[in-house]
Structure 1
Amino acid sequence: MKYDVIIIGGGVSGCATARELSRYRVKACVLEREEDVCCGTSKANSGIVHAGHDAWPGTLMAQLNVRGNALMEPLSEELDFEFRRNGSMVVCTEEEKRGDLQKLLERGEKNGVPDLRILEREEALAMEPNLTEDTVAVLYAPTGGIVCPFGLNIALAENAYTNGVEFYFDTEVTRITRRPDGFLLETTQGEYVSDYVVNAAGVYADVFHNMVSQEKMNITPRRGEYMLLDKTVGGHVSHTIFRLPDELGKGVLVTPTVHGNLLVGPTAQNLQEKEAVNTTQEGLRTIRDRAGKSVRGIPFRQVITSFAGLRACAQTHDFIIQEAPDAPGFIDCAGIASPGLTSAPAIGEMVAEMLRTRMNLEANPEFCGRRKGILNPAKLPLEERNRLIEREPAYGQIICRCEMVTEGEIVDAVRRPLGAKSLDGVKRRTRAGMGRCQAGFCSPKTMEILARERGILMEAVTKSGGDSTLICGINKDIWQGDE
């Protein structure tokens, strides 16, 4: 199949690029090796919208962080995903390091971060009572925020798709060859040809870059482990709380999530293995120890799950967004580590503009930049909710009790553009299975809905695509409740 542009990777950078590219008349597609978007780095991160004071002035990280932060709120309104500007604090607990806090303030001001200020201990504790007693001062950034990573990624993908970008899942790129007429991409689902390639493959971006360029790239996977706490303790802090950064990043943070949980993490461990997303006893112990140095009394007995993700760290310590010098038409979107999620809307803008300029693209007159997310009946006024349930009874049938997700929401998640095909796909779109019981009660019913809506057997329903089936056979009489 022949395309003008092929994007490798259905993470947040690839989907942001796809959405921005759909503003123009262009034949484009996204190739994703997993069964859904948001299955790699983009699904396992802090969900933080960074203010932009950490990146070094003059870097792409600094520029795109601040721009992405500014874009996030209007984008959340256009595409209907969860975002909240809750503000962030960087905590200094040693008087002799107050100068480092001042330097961070000055760096942020050079980057163009608005309204930064240093708060003394008393004012900081008044705003955030659970800060450690050792707090000396904090750098307060009111523009810091939190977002649902799944919501952002899926919203970008759906809007790109409805504007004409094609998506191919379970399609792993195995080889790229430069040809006089562009690039040949060999995949597990056949061959694709394209004039331009956008390499947004996360920790595998170096693999694809090195297939076409003699100027080799190296991406180091950096594992970050997290603990997620129950909603009953989600108000332990109201701001995102950081410690002063070190050579491996911003350290262990404590933050509320847009859905009301408390999130603690990540660790930072450089690895060679690009699939090492397991948690470790040592990593989880590190989280507990380090988080307590900025926030006191964290109720770790309320942890409901732990997880890990990999950040794609480049040897340049900056984003790499450029055309490969010796491979015209091959555009790297690589090294998108933190603050990659924050920067994603700006990354999409930048890459799409590069392509528009090179390809002389014309505007797409049918582009629609708005998208409506899954209807949550719990957010409706009572009378309106009752009318909805009377009209569509599935919205009155609770499937996930922990998160109060209805059958109507799950059906919508399956039927909508680029709909869910697995339990994890439903979870990312509706939160069914993300609550305290971690899908212990709702999985069978969700599987029934998936099977019914997709017209497949229960045995074919997977957790996350591929061979991740959950059952190998059913006694149909017992399953239907018959004697």
Structure 2
Amino acid sequence: MTYDVIIIGAGVTGAAVARELSRYNVEVCVLDKEEDVCCGTSKANSAIIHAGYDAEPESNMAKMNVRGNYMMDQLCKDLDVPFKRNGSLVVCVHEEMLPGLKELYDKGVKNGVPGMKLLNREEALAMEPNLSENVQGALYAETAGIICPFKLNIAMAENANVNGVDFRFNTRVEKITKGEDGLWHLRTNNGEYKTRYVVNAAGVYADVFHNMVSEEKIHIIERRGEYYLLDRTVGDHVSHTIFPQPNKFGKGVLVAPTVHGNLLVGPTAIDQDDKDATNTTQFGMDQITAKASENVKNLPLRSVITSFSGLRAHEDNQEFILGEVKDAPGFIDCAGIESPGLSSSPAIGEYIGNLLRDMMKLTEKENWIATRKDVLDPKKLSLEERNVLIKKNPAYGQIICRCESVTEGEILDAIHRPLGARSLDGIKRRTRAGMGRCQAGFCSPRVMDILARELGLPLTEITKSGGKSQIVLEHSKEVAE
């Protein structure tokens, strides 16, 4: 199969690039080794939109962060993605470190971050009563926000797909070479693909693909970050995103509300040499507890409902690598996309989209669709509207997930919409079925039955997250016989 552009990676960066390219008359395909979009770093992060004061001035990180933050309101409105500007506080708990807040403020000014303010101890505590008693001051940034990272990734991918971009899942790129025909040849486990241009948005694997085609090597460290997620009953412990002062390993362990009403605490920063190891550890959990408690008091950690970890693609120079590789014409890097990658994704998509538009002299589609509607949530309707909906479609009156009040109608929508869910995790990311207090203990069998029925598959082929993650391995009746 031959395309004009192939994007490697269906995470938030790849989806953002795909959506931007879908504006133009060009044949685009996204390849991903997993069974769905949003299966790597994009599904396991802090779910926050950074203001942009932390990155070095004039860096790609700074430019993309500030521009991406600015774009987020309209993008989330167009794509029906939950987003809230709750603001952030960088907290100083040691008096001798107060000058560091001023340095961050000055860096933010250079980066063009609006709405920042240096707070004294009393002002900080007035905004957040549960800050540590040791707080000496804080940097407030009003433009920081919280978002659903799954919904953002899925929404951009769905919108790209509706506008003509192909997505090929369970397709692992194994080798990239330049053919005598002048095209890039991508050998995969599902055959060969050819393309004029490659966009490398492969997260922690971006260095692997870059180094296949370039003599100028790059190196990405897999930096593991572990998190606690707390129940909605304690989601109001803080109202802003609370950061410690940053260090060389990143922005530190934060405490933040989520757009869905939970409380998120983390991440750690553990460098490793395994690009797929996302296990959590007791050491990591202990680190989260100790470090978060330095900035926020009385953390209600007895209300933890789950822990998880994700990998950040930390490039050696701590910078986003964006653009065409000098000694590999037609190969475009989106490499080293760690925090603030989620915040920067719309801007990265815009930047790479404009780059390819100019390189390929692309023309805009006359019928490009800019908007998309999320899975219908009956909880957002009035009682009268909900009753009308249930009368019209009784599936919306059948609760499947009790913790999150997710209905069968929502699950059916998640399965049958563009790039629909094919696994328990796919349903979870689109509807939140299984994300509540019992962590899918009640609803998994029901969701599996619906998936099997709608996809025409036996239960033994329904997985948690694709691959070999089957829940039901065999039928007990057949074993007994």
Aligned to 1:295: 296
Q: Which residue number corresponds to residue 420 of structure 1?
A: 421
Deviation at 1:398, TM superposition (A): 0.5
Distance 2:474 2:270 in 1: 41
Unaligned runs of 5+ in 1: 478-483
The residue that corresponds to 2:137 in the other structure is: 137
Which letter does structure 2 place at the counterpart of 1:49?
Answer: I
How far apart in 1 are the matches of 2:208 and 2:350?
A: 24
CA–CA distance in structure 1, aligned partners of residues 216 and 383 of structure 2: 61
Aligned to 1:249: 250
Moved more, 396-405 or 177-186: 177-186
- 1:271-323 deviations in Å (ceiling 9; x for gaps): 11111110111011000000001100001111010001000011121100011
Q: Which residue of 1 aligns with 2:25?
A: 25
Q: Distance between the aligned counterparts of 1:61 and 1:476, measured in 2?
A: 57
Q: Which residue of 1 aligns with 2:369?
A: 368
CA distance in 1, matches of 2:127, 2:217: 48
Q: Residue 481 of structure 1 aligns with which residue?
A: none
Structure 1 match to 2:171 = 171
The equivalent of 1:87 in structure 2 is: 87
Q: Deviations over 1:243-280 (max 9, x none)?
A: 10011111000000000000000001111111111011
Q: Which amino acid aligns with 1:89?
A: L
Q: In structure 2, list runs of 5 or more residues that go unmatched.
A: none
Distance in 1 between residues matched to 2:75 and 2:46, nearest whole Å: 19
Indicate whether 1:108 and 2:108 are aligned. yes
Partner of 2:310: 309
**Cα separation, 2, equivalents of 1:307 and 1:198:** 29
1:456 equivalent to 2:454? Answer: no
Residues 355-397 of structure 1 deviation map (CA, whole Å, 9 limit, x = unaligned):
0010000001121110000000010011001100111010011
**Could you say what secondary structure the match of 1:225 adopts?**
strand
Q: Distance in 1 between matches of 2:202 and 2:267?
A: 22
State the AA in 2 paired with 1:376. Answer: D
Listed as ranges, the matches of 1:225-374 within 5 Å are 225-374=226-375
TM-fit CA distance, 1:217: 1.1
Q: Give 1:480's aligned residue.
A: none
Give how far 1:236 is off.
0.3
Name the structure 2 match of 1:380: 381
Amino acid at match of 1:135: V
Name the amino acid aligned to 2:170.
Answer: D
Query: Identity rate of aligned residues, in percent?
Result: 62
Q: Partners of 1:197 and 1:214 in 2: how far apart?
A: 17
Tell me what 1:74 maps to: 74
Corresponding pairs, count = 477
Aligned-pair distance for 1:96? 1.1
Q: What is the DSSP-based 3-state SS (H/G/I as helix, E as strand, rest coil) of the residue aligned with 2:3?
A: strand
Q: Counterpart of 2:65 in 1: which secondary structure?
A: helix
Distance across 1 between alignment mates of 2:178 and 2:285:
44
Distance (whole Å) between structure 2 residues aligned to residue 247 and residue 460 of structure 1: 45
Deviation string, structure 1 residues 28-82 (Cα, Å, up to 9, x no partner): 0000000000000110000010000000101000000000001111100000011
Q: Deviations over 1:183-211 (max 9, x none)?
A: 00000100000000000000000110111
* CA distance in structure 2 between the aligned counterparts of 1:229 and 1:474, rounded to whole angstroms: 36
Structure 1 64/127 Cα, relative in aligned 2: closer, same or farther at 3 Å? same
CA drift at 1:473? 2.6
Q: Name the CA distance, whole Å, in 2 between partners of 1:344 and 1:472.
A: 39
CA displacement at 1:220 relative to structure 2? 0.6
Whether 1:39 aligns to 2:6 is: no
Match of 1:198 in 2: 199
Residue 147 of structure 1 and its aligned partner are, at CA, apart by 0.5
Whole-angstrom distance in 1 between the partners of 2:398 and 2:474 = 27
Shift of 1:476: 7.6
**2-side partners of 1:153 and 1:330: how far apart?**
23
Confirm whether residue 220 of structure 1 aligns to residue 221 of structure 2: yes
3-state SS, counterpart of residue 326 of structure 1: coil
AA aligned to 1:240 is T
Aligned match of 1:57: 57
**TM (normalized to structure 1)?**
0.98
Q: Distance in 2 between matches of 1:149 and 1:395?
A: 25
**Superposed displacement of residue 431, structure 1:** 0.5
Spell out, residue by residue over 1:153-177, the C-alpha distance to the aligned partner (whole angstroms, 9 max, x if none).
0000000000000000000000000
Question: Quick one: distance in 2 between partners of 1:92 and 1:184?
Answer: 52
Superposed displacement of residue 124, structure 1: 1.3
Say if 2:408 is the partner of 1:407: yes
Q: Secondary structure at the match of 1:469?
A: coil
1:1-16 correspondence to structure 2 within 5 Å: 1-16=1-16
The list of structure 1 runs, each at least 4 consecutive aligned residues, that deviate by more than 6 angstroms after superposition, is none
User: Distance in 2 between the 1:443 and 1:476 partners?
Assistant: 21
CA apart distance, 1:474: 3.2
Report the aligned-residue RMSD.
0.9
Q: CA deviation at 1:179?
A: 1.9
Counterpart CA distance in 1 for 2:229 and 2:68 is 25
For 1:316 and 1:230, how far apart are their aligned partners in 2? Answer: 37
Partner of 1:429: 430
> d(CA) in 2 for partners of 1:435 and 1:334?
34
CA distance in 2, matches of 1:335, 1:60: 11
Question: 1:394, 1:475 → 2: CA distance?
Answer: 30
Matched AA of 2:206: A
AA aligned opposite 1:375: L
Determine helix, strand or coil for the equivalent of 2:187.
Answer: strand
Q: What TM-score results when the alignment is normalised by the length of structure 2? A: 0.98
Amino acid in structure 2 at the alignment position of 1:115 = G
